[in-house]
Structure 1
Amino acid sequence: MNIFQQFIKSLYSPETIAKFRLQKIGRAILYVFLLMVIATLPAVISLSIGINTIYNEFTSQLEEFPDFEIENGVLQSDAGSEINEAEDGTAIIFDPDGEYSSQDVTEYDQAFAFLEREAVFYTGATTEQVSYQELGIEISKDELNELTDTIGGMMPLILTVVGLIIYAVNTGLKFIGVTFLALISLILKRNQVNDLSFKQGWILSAFTVTLPTMIFAVIDMTGIVIPFSFGLYWLIAVIMMYLVIKNIRLGREHAREKRNLST
């Protein structure tokens, strides 16, 4: 059975997972890396699309802004304050005259605002504020256009680095989770499979986490928020491990019955 077939079987078959305990630990480690590629890739793609959308919308709106300059922590422009609305309904506020506050920005469903002394990004749930003084930048519209063009040229590299960081962090956490589940397996094996070693438990755990990992990968991709998701993840993982260990015991009992019948 190749590693992709193992992935499919690990989604629904504790009986099959139970048979993996005698495999080499190197294969289990490789499986965890593969599992996290499959689980993380949709989220990375979705994030990349979102970042590209925000970047394209920002550069498009920036072109429509009048000439401006940020100097001494203050937005300056000969043009007055104005509000435009992007195609997705996001309000774009340009306010060199100080007519709006960060609180006014939250009156919109979503908004991006260049206020007199700070930039504000509001998503409908969270507000991010940063003052020009804190950034320590002095920049004009033309210079900002050049900067965004540079960032645009580097976007594939930026997204790749972000994706690799997300993958590395998620994979590291998954290895910790697999190790913790292996420790739990030492408790679950009592009075069922007493000779199950920690190494075998770790190998089984690597495959057992497939189902909860993929369930929550799909949930995260859809943007659905589930209360107590961390606890639910571990409930599914522990139940799967219990069923795997139970199938080891049942398999041994069945093998003994066959030997007794043959004799």
Structure 2
Amino acid sequence: MNIFKQFYKSIYSPRDIALFRFQGIGKTILYVFFLTFISILPSIIYFSTALIEGIDAAKTIIKDEAPSFSIKNGHLTAKTDVPVTIDKDNFTIIIDPTGAISGDDVADEGNAFALLKDEFALSSGGNVETYPYSMMNDIHITNSDLLNFVDSIGGMKGIIIPVVSLFIYIFSSAASFIEISVLAFIGLALKGNRKLNYRQLWRMAAYSETLPTLFFTIMTAIQTVVPNSFLINWFVVIIVLYLAIKEVPKPKNSN
């Protein structure tokens, strides 16, 4: 059975997930990488779009609309007493020297770049990354410096996007393998008297991840935040694994 058919079967069939326990470990590992790739596609697309649109919007805004500002000694100062929010071409730029806006607030803006009091933030697809100014070793930055920096980023986007995408993929793959390994241990407690070892449960756990992964990938693609997503993910995947374990025949009693 090819990997695409396995993906389809794993969405709805615990019986097929139970049968996959007999396949080679190499094919299961390949499936985990495949599933991880699917799960990060929306994030990579949103990041790429936000970066490209953000660079163009940022250059225009810094030149024509942003107040004068300066980043020095790890803090932002600007010629404004209130946060400044500028919307342009589905991209938002925020300048807030007051500390009123947090990184979580930036995430609510969708695609956005923010200079906050002690850090800058980049949001795309509802996900936000923040970086403190202290990482820049007390470098003094003004409007013109930031404009030159944005120009440099624009020239390097063909490198930045693949590198960041690869980093996201590696990190997400590692997280997937850890989650599957923990789930397989949970499977040991759920198997009862069925003859299942850890390696077989690991394979079954990998395919049990399919349904919640597909669900959360769709939610990310349509930019919908799911409350308590961590708990929902674990609840669903444990239920799917339990149903798959129930499909494994119990050993017959010998008299």
After TM superposition, the score normalised by the length of structure 1 is 0.72
For residues 35 and 114 of structure 1, the distance between their equivalents in structure 2, rounded to whole angstroms, comes to 35
CA distance in 2, matches of 1:75, 1:186: 53
Give 3-state SS (helix, strand or coil) of 2:225's partner: coil
- The DSSP-based 3-state class of the residue aligned with 1:62 is helix
Cα distance in 1 for partners of 2:113, 2:56 equals 14
Contact 1:70 1:76 in 2 (8 A): yes
Based on CA coordinates, which of the two structures has the bigger radius of gyration? Answer: 1
Structure 1 residue 36, shift from structure 2 partner: 0.4
Q: Does 1:206 align with 2:213?
A: no
Q: Contact 1:61–1:92 at 8 Å: present in 2 too?
A: no
* Structure 1 residue 213: Cα displacement: 1.5
What runs of 5+ residues in structure 2 fail to find an aligned partner? Answer: none
The residue that corresponds to 1:137 in the other structure is 139
Match of 1:217 in 2: 217
Residues 10 and 210, structure 2, Cα contact 8 Å, conserved in 1: yes
User: What's the C-alpha RMSD, in Å, of the aligned pairs?
Assistant: 4.1
Match of 1:58 in 2: 58
SS for the counterpart of 2:199 is: helix
For 2:87, give the aligned amino acid.
Answer: A
CA distance in 2, matches of 1:199, 1:57: 51
Could you say which residue in structure 2 is the equivalent of 1:96? none
- 2:151 aligned partner: 149
Contact 1:118 1:130 in 2 (8 A): yes
Structure 1 Cα separation of the partners of residues 77 and 235 of structure 2: 56
1:104 to partner: Cα distance: 7.2
Paired position in structure 2 for 1:41: 41
Q: CA deviation at 1:75?
A: 9.3
After superposition, the Cα gap between the structure-2 partners of 1:67 and 1:213, relative to the gap in structure 1 and judged at 3 Å, is closer
Q: C-alpha separation between the residues in 2 aligned to 1:76 and 1:46? A: 30
- Whether the 8 Å contact between 2:57 and 2:91 is mirrored in structure 1 is no
- Between the aligned partners of 2:20 and 2:122, the Cα distance in structure 1 is 49
Give the match for residue 28 of structure 2.
Answer: 28
CA deviations over 1:17-64 (Å, ceiling 9, x no partner) = 111111011111111011101111121111221232222211121232
Aligned residue pair count: 238
Percent of aligned pairs sharing the same letter:
34
Matched residue type, 2:159: L
Equivalent residues of 1:105, 1:120 under 8 A apart: no
**In structure 1, C-alpha distance between the alignment counterparts of 2:17 and 2:25, rounded to whole Å:** 14
| In structure 2, distance between residues paired with 1:76 and 1:247 | 63
Q: Partners of 2:32 and 2:210 in 1: how far apart?
A: 9
* Structure-2 change in CA distance of 1:26 and 1:137 (3 Å): same
* AA in 2 matched with 1:173: A
CA distance in 2, matches of 1:180, 1:66: 49
Give me the TM-score of the superposition, normalised by structure 2: 0.74
Residue type of the alignment partner of 1:86: D
Q: Residues 113 and 120 of structure 1 are in contact (CA less than 8 Å); yes or no, is this contact kept in structure 2? A: yes
**After the TM superposition, which residues 65-104 of structure 1 pair with which residues of structure 2 at under 5 Å, given as runs?**
85-87=86-88, 88=90, 90=92, 102=98
Tell me the equivalent position of 2:247: 247
Whether 2:170 is the aligned partner of 1:168: answer yes
2:185 matches 1:189? no
1:92 Cα deviation from its structure 2 partner: 6.2
The Cα of 1:207 is off from its aligned counterpart by: 0.9
The one-letter amino acid paired with 1:219 is M
- In structure 2, relative to structure 1, the CA distance for the partners of 1:151 and 1:244 (3 Å cut) is same
* Partner residue of 1:180 out of 179, 182, 199: 182
Residue pair 1:69, 1:141 contacting (<8 A) in 2 also: yes
1:152 partner letter: G
| Cross-structure match for 1:258 | none
